[in-house]
Chains A and B, each alone.
Chain A
Amino acid sequence: MKRLLYELTESFRIAFAQIRANKLRSVLTALGVIIGIVAVTLMGTAIRGIDTGFTKSLAMLGDDVLYVQKWPWGGVEDWWNYANRPPIRPEDADKLNRIIEQTPNSLLEVAVPVSTRGNSVKAGENKVSGVFTIGTTADYGRLISADFAEGRLFNDTEAAGGRPVCVLGFDVAEALFQNRSSIDQTVMIGGHPFTVIGVVAKQGSFLGLFSFDNQAILPLEAFRKYFSVRRGAEIRVKITDKTRVADAREELTGAMRRVRAQLPGERDNFNINEQGAFKAQLDPIKQGIALAGLFITGLSLFVGAIGIMNITFVSVKERTKEIGTRKALGARRRTILLQFLIEAVSICLIGGFVGLGLTYGLVLAVGAAFPAIPVEFSVSLVFISMAVSILTGIISGFAPAWGASRLDPVVALRYE
């Protein structure tokens, strides 16, 4: 046991002396492994980044909210079955809330009507176009997790009275008022004056696509006064228990059918959407990245493994006489086998470390250059790439090392 330990120490010493003596050769050999490790870690980073970004984005939407809408998310093929559905009315939310109140132990907490449209927002000379404008009730505050940078949301009285007040997204407020406070300023939304009573703290964007900071929130009654709601609205329903989404969905379906006075056997004429659907849409993208990454990784590791196998064969050939000498001095087969295996593994490990370093640099660079792209480096990636490196070394080094261990000492000693 002790002997094995001493032999291993000696093998590592020899391996690193060998690599140091053949620096260029070792680096070139490790190139395939380096590329493979960069590919595998970048892929892992990308997938993790998407996951984290997605989770964060979902949290912005509120991950305990169901959406009652006319259309399902993700598109449908039989669109004609949906086109004739009645639009969702803001009044349906009031009816839903009444049903929720009457239901004991309801899984639903509150239903909030939301109407949306795009508007331009002006303050003096400054103008922001394409602002996502939301008309809703004071219950909206129970849906969103965001803090307020300043001010507050409108209250029930203001909402019911349709008072011309608004809450701005962070980017909108900043574009219009720069560093000044926005509170009590008047802005023109779609050509109508509103008084700013609050600004939502900066939230970031949904997967880097849709900014939550480019919005304006108005009382529904004020929204209806100035903008058309003929296209209908949506109803967001907060649920009480995130772990029982399916049950909550069922309860909501029943309640909504009551609101719509649908007959038994009739198909639902509305859709209940949830974020799970987003996730399902994202999975093929993640799988695509994983597949492409695996392919590139596999290919470069394969090439790298062949390179290392080749260089180990060369190393065995070059040092045939040394192998003979070592055998004459008492090296067993195992000793020689381990020595060359460790050499192959060491080259792979060095390649792995270089690859990791490159990936880390790339991730930092991408993170600095494009903050919107979610990238994340993780410790598990380090372990995965080390394991992959060691495995590559063992697989590629085994055949030449085995050959070396089986050499006849007489023949090896005579080799010139």
Chain B
Amino acid sequence: MIPSQVPPASRLTRPAGPLVIDIAGVTKLYEMGEETIHALRGVSVQIHRNEYLAIMGPSGSGKSTLMNMLGCLDTPTAGRYEFNGKNVASMIDDELADIRNREIGFVFQTFNLLPRSTALANVELPLIYAGYAPAERRARAIRALENVGLGSRLNHKPNELSGGQRQRVAIARALVNSPSIILADEPTGNLDSKTGVEIMALFEQLYEQGNTLIVVTHEEDVARHARRIVRLRDGLIESDGSVY
């Protein structure tokens, strides 16, 4: 149980910006041997800049499939997906890789840091793929790590950091390319409740700084931090509405 630290009444809600994600009538089919699994059966959702969105649903609801879709890791079987006005549904692998690199910051449940690289090197990785020169890479990565409170841990390797610190490195890595959205998959799932609260507070701070956040979770307490919750069930959107 993660109690909300911020009283709802005093929460800041930023006005929604331009449309970033436009999904309409998206379906996704998987062939599992003889069986065809309908992971998504026609999902439509629009996400704007400056939103703080939670996607919820029990396992098997299509939550993970939707997240992969939003993260441009996967493309829909049918339906429309536009990211900043660009048609993602018809993109090839390398084009998707470029979109992920520039527009999306991933935060994983298991942190997914490179074990033998320092915090700094981990945060620099997306900048390498973006083609930044070494000096600028380093400067931006240091700024991102300072922003998440790890300015003194630049040269520590993941196994020299606590779970909370590792997730902060991952968040810095997600932020470093100034993406359009931050996509977090169960960001507190591998953390104790106290550290989880800290991470959610950091998310709140990032939101207030003007980032767009999408958190995928099955925990009500995590979802409550968001300003809008989309609930999925059996591959369909069950509900979609503001929290307050």
- Which residue of B is nearest A1, CB measured? B131
Asked whether, in the complex, the Cβ of A332 is within 8 Å of the Cβ of B128, the reply is no
- Which residue of A is nearest B103, CB measured? A330
Judge whether A261 is part of the interface by a CB distance below 8 angstroms.
no
Given that A6-B128, A322-B114, A409-B73 are contacting pairs, would A327 and B108 also be in contact in the complex, using a CB cutoff of 8 Å?
Answer: no
- Which residue of B is nearest A17, CB measured? B116
Residues of B contacting A328 with CB < 8 Å? 71, 73, 100, 106, 112
Question: Could you tell me which residues of chain B, from 123 to 176, have a CB within 8 Å of some CB in chain A?
Answer: 125-126, 128-134, 173
Partner of B129 from the list A14, A322, A329 (CB cut-off 8 Å) is A329
Asked whether, in the complex, the Cβ of A331 is within 8 Å of the Cβ of B131, the reply is no
Partner of A333 from the list B94, B100, B102, B134 (CB cut-off 8 Å) is B94
Judge whether A10 is part of the interface by a CB distance below 8 angstroms.
yes
- State how many angstroms separate the Cβ of B81 from the closest Cβ of chain A: 15
A-B contacts, 19 listed (Cβ < 8 Å)? A6-B128, A6-B132, A6-B133, A10-B128, A17-B117, A328-B100, A328-B106, A330-B126, A330-B129, A331-B97, A331-B129, A332-B98, A332-B129, A333-B97, A335-B129, A409-B73, A409-B74, A410-B68, A413-B108
- Taking residues whose C-beta sits less than 8 angstroms from the other chain, chain A's interface range is 20 to 34
Given contacts A2-B131, A18-B116, 7 further A-B contacts (CB under 8 A): A3-B130, A3-B131, A6-B134, A327-B73, A327-B97, A328-B73, A410-B74
How many angstroms from the CA of A326 to the CA of B112 in the assembled complex? 9
Residues of B in contact with A (beta carbons under 8 Å apart): 68, 71, 73-74, 93-94, 97-98, 100-102, 106, 108, 112, 114, 116-117, 125-126, 128-134, 173, 177
Residues of A contacting B173 with CB < 8 Å? 329
- Which residue of B is nearest A328, CB measured? B106
In the complex, per-residue mask of A6-24: 1 if CB is within 8 Å of any chain B CB, else 0: 1100100010011001000
Residues of B contacting A6 with CB < 8 Å? 128, 131-134
Asked whether, in the complex, the Cβ of A333 is within 8 Å of the Cβ of B74, the reply is no
Given that A410-B68, A410-B74 are contacting pairs, would A330 and B112 also be in contact in the complex, using a CB cutoff of 8 Å?
Answer: no
Residues of A contacting B117 with CB < 8 Å? 17
How many angstroms from the CA of A25 to the CA of B239 in the assembled complex? 54
Residues of A contacting B112 with CB < 8 Å? 321-322, 324-325, 328, 413
Residues of B contacting A331 with CB < 8 Å? 97, 129
Question: Could you tell me which residues of chain A, from 70 to 89, have a CB within 8 Å of some CB in chain B?
Answer: none
- State how many angstroms separate the Cβ of B3 from the closest Cβ of chain A: 31
Asked whether, in the complex, the Cβ of A7 is within 8 Å of the Cβ of B114, the reply is no
How many angstroms from the CA of A330 to the CA of B117 in the assembled complex? 18
- Which residue of B is nearest A18, CB measured? B116
Asked whether, in the complex, the Cβ of A325 is within 8 Å of the Cβ of B108, the reply is yes
Residues of B contacting A2 with CB < 8 Å? 131, 133
Asked whether, in the complex, the Cβ of A330 is within 8 Å of the Cβ of B114, the reply is no
- Which residue of B is nearest A4, CB measured? B131
- State how many angstroms separate the Cβ of A341 from the closest Cβ of chain B: 17
Residues of A contacting B125 with CB < 8 Å? 10, 326, 329
How many angstroms from the CA of A324 to the CA of B185 in the assembled complex? 14
- Which residue of B is nearest A416, CB measured? B110
How many angstroms from the CA of A18 to the CA of B117 in the assembled complex? 11
How many angstroms from the CA of A335 to the CA of B129 in the assembled complex? 8
Scoring A21, A321, A335, A409 by chain B CB atoms within 10 A of each residue's CB, the highest score goes to: A409
In the complex, per-residue mask of A297-332: 1 if CB is within 8 Å of any chain B CB, else 0: 000000000000000000000000110111111111
- Which residue of A is nearest B67, CB measured? A410
- Which residue of B is nearest A409, CB measured? B73
- Which residue of A is nearest B177, CB measured? A330
Given that A6-B131, A325-B108, A329-B125 are contacting pairs, would A413 and B97 also be in contact in the complex, using a CB cutoff of 8 Å?
Answer: no
How many angstroms from the CA of A118 to the CA of B24 in the assembled complex? 105
- State how many angstroms separate the Cβ of A343 from the closest Cβ of chain B: 13
Residues of B contacting A18 with CB < 8 Å? 116
- State how many angstroms separate the Cβ of A412 from the closest Cβ of chain B: 9
Partner of A332 from the list B68, B97, B114 (CB cut-off 8 Å) is B97
In the complex, per-residue mask of A101-118: 1 if CB is within 8 Å of any chain B CB, else 0: 000000000000000000
Residues of B contacting A326 with CB < 8 Å? 125
How many angstroms from the CA of A18 to the CA of B115 in the assembled complex? 11
Given that A329-B173, A330-B97 are contacting pairs, would A3 and B71 also be in contact in the complex, using a CB cutoff of 8 Å?
Answer: no
Asked whether, in the complex, the Cβ of A329 is within 8 Å of the Cβ of B116, the reply is no
How many angstroms from the CA of A335 to the CA of B100 in the assembled complex? 14
Asked whether, in the complex, the Cβ of B94 is within 8 Å of the Cβ of A329, the reply is no
Scoring B98, B125, B133 by chain A CB atoms within 10 A of each residue's CB, the highest score goes to: B125
Asked whether, in the complex, the Cβ of B100 is within 8 Å of the Cβ of A3, the reply is no
- State how many angstroms separate the Cβ of A109 from the closest Cβ of chain B: 70
